Amino acid sequence: MMFDNNEEMFPIVDEEGNITGAATRKECHSGSKLLHPVVHLHVFNDKGELYLQKRPAWKDIQPNKWDTSVGGHIDLGESVEMALKREAQEELGISDFTFELLTHYVFESDREKELVFCHRTTYNGEISPSNELDGGRFWSIEEIKNNLGKGVFTPNFESEFARLKF
C-alpha cells in the first residue's frame, strides 16, 4: 500500500505566493492552516469533456473521491510551472501540452489552507494514470453537474468547478 510522505517539505507562502517559510506535509495537513501552494490542471478534450482523477483510498485528504485532472503540491524550491509539468507527468503521463492560467485563490478546509494556482489545457493524446491514482476518465460537463453535492467529488473540486463556471 502506498502512503503520503509526511516529512515532504512544502513552502509556506503569503496570499500573493511569496515564500515566508517551510513546513512538512504533516504540519500543513494537521489543521495548522499553514498556507502552502498547489497546482491544478483541468484537462479537456476536443469534445469539451473534462478528465477527472479518482483519488485512492490511501490518500490522507479526500480518499476515494473524484478530483481535478491534475493536482499537487509545489515542492520547496520549485516554480508553479515546474510543479505543473511534474505533476501532469507523474499523475497522467502527459508531458507535451500548453496551459493557460485561469486564476489563483485560497482554499481552506478543516485540515489545511492552500494557495491554488488553477490552469487548463486541451489534450487529446493518451492519458496513463499512475499508481498514485485509482484511475480516471473524461466526464461530460452535464454528468459532472448531475453529480454535484452527492459526495462523488472532493469539496475542493466542487468549489473550483463553481468558481470557474465550466
pLDDT digits (tens, 9 = 90+) for 84-116: 999 999 999 999 999 999 999 999 988 889 999
Q: How far apart are CA 18 and CA 63, in angstroms?
A: 30
User: Quick check: is 1 in a domain?
Assistant: no
Residue 60: predicted pLDDT? 75
Instruction: Assign 1 a pLDDT band (cuts: 50, 70, 90).
Output: very low
- Asked whether the predicted pLDDT for residue 4 surpasses 80, the reply is no
What confidence tens digit (pLDDT) does each residue in 10-62 have?
999 999 899 999 999 889 988 899 999 999 999 999 999 999 999 999 887 78
The pair phi, psi for residue 159, each rounded to 5°, is -65, -45
- What are the residues facing 51 on neighbouring strands? 43, 138
Q: Where do we find the cell 510543479?
A: 83
Region at 89 (left for phi over 0; alpha for psi -120 to 50; beta for the rest): alpha
Instruction: Assign 6 a pLDDT band (cuts: 50, 70, 90).
Output: low
User: Quick check: is 2 in a domain?
Assistant: no
Q: How many domains does the chain have?
A: 1
User: Quick check: is 4 in a domain?
Assistant: no
pTM over cut 0.85: yes
User: Quick check: is 115 in a domain?
Assistant: yes
Alpha-helix runs per DSSP H in the chain: 25-28, 80-92, 141-147, 155-164
Q: How far apart are CA 64 and CA 18, in angstroms?
A: 33
User: Quick check: is 94 in a domain?
Assistant: yes
CATH number at 112 reads 3.90.79.10
Question: 24 is in which domain, residue-wise?
Answer: 9-164
